A and B are shown apart, each in its own frame.
Chain A
Amino acid sequence: MTDKAIPPCQAACPIHTDVRGYVSAIAKGDVEEAIRIIRQVNPVRDLSLNGVNPFPSVCGRICTRPCENVCRRAQIDEPISIAALKRFAADQTKGLKLIQQPEHYYDEKVAVIGGGPAGLTAAHDLALLGYSVTVFEAQNVLGGMLSEGIPQYRLPKDVVKEEIDFILSLGVEVKTGLSLGRDFTIEGLLKDYQAVFLAIGSQKSLFPKCNGVELSGIITAVEFLKQVSRGQRPLLGKRVVVVGGGHTATDAARTSLRLGSSEVTIIYRRTLDEMPAGREEVEDAEREGVKISYLTAPVEFLGNRNVQKVRCIEMRLGELDESGRRRPVPIENSEFEIDADTVILAIGYIPEVDALKDSRLILSKNGTVVVKDKTGVTNLKGVFGGGDVVSGPLSVIEAIAAGKKAADAIHRYFYNIPNKEFEEPLAFRSLDDSVVRLINKSIRQKMPTLPIEKRINSFAEVELGYNWDEAVREAQRCLLCGSGALVEENCAACLNCVRICPYGVPVPGREIAEIDISQCQACGICMSECSASAINLKLETKEEARATLEKVIDVAMRETPKVLIIGFYCKYKLPAGPPDGREGVYWLGKLCTGRLDVFQLIYPFELGADGVAVHMCKNEECHFRDGSRWLLTHIERAKKILDEIGMGANRLDIISEEDVSDFRKRFEDLGINPI
Chain B
Amino acid sequence: MIVAEIKPFGEIKDILKGYNKVLIVGCGTCVTVCMSGGERQVELLASALRIARKIEGNEITVGERTILRQCDPEFIDQIKDEAAQYDAILSMACGAGVQGITERLGSISVLPAMNTTFIGVSDGQGTWVEVCTACGDCILYKTGGICPVARCAKGLINGPCGGSQSGLCEVSKDNPCVWQQIYARLVKLNLLHSLKGMSQPKTWPVHPRRLVREDLRLKKEPTKGV
Contact = CB atoms under 8 A, between A and B. Distances in A.
Interface in B21-56: 28-29, 32-35, 38-41, 43-44, 47-52, 54-56
Contacts of A597: 40
B172 to A, nearest CB: 26
Nearest to B59: A675
A534 B39 CA distance: 9
Name the residue among A493, A647, A674, A675 with the largest chain B CB count within 10 angstroms. Answer: A675
A533 B41 CA distance: 9
Nearest to A647: B51
B40 A531 contact: yes
Contact of A647 (B41, B55, B66): B55
Interface residues of B, number: 28
A306 B80 CA distance: 98
A641 interface: yes
A598 interface: yes
A499 B9 CA distance: 28
A644 interface: yes
B10 interface: yes
Interface in A199-253: none
Interface of A is mostly: loop
Interface of B is mostly: helix
B200 interface: no
Given A493-B33, A532-B28, A644-B10, A606 B47 contact: yes
Given A500-B125, A598-B44, A644-B10, A490 B51 contact: no
Interface string A491-517: 011111001100000000000000000
A603 interface: yes
Contacts of A602: 44, 47-48, 51
A599 B46 CA distance: 10
Interface string A638-656: 0001001111000000000
A365 B59 CA distance: 84
B55 A641 contact: no
Nearest to A527: B40
B48 A644 contact: yes
A566 interface: no
B8 to A, nearest CB: 8
Contacts of B34: 494
Contacts of B41: 531
B44 A675 contact: no
Interface string B54-68: 111000000000101
A605 interface: yes
A499 B124 CA distance: 8
Contacts of A396: none
Nearest to A492: B32
Contact of B38 (A531, A603, A644): A531
A584 to B, nearest CB: 23
A611 to B, nearest CB: 14
Given A530-B40, A531-B32, 4 more contacts: A500-B125, A533-B43, A599-B44, A675-B54
11 contacts: A492-B29, A492-B33, A531-B32, A531-B41, A532-B66, A533-B40, A602-B47, A602-B48, A602-B51, A603-B47, A641-B9
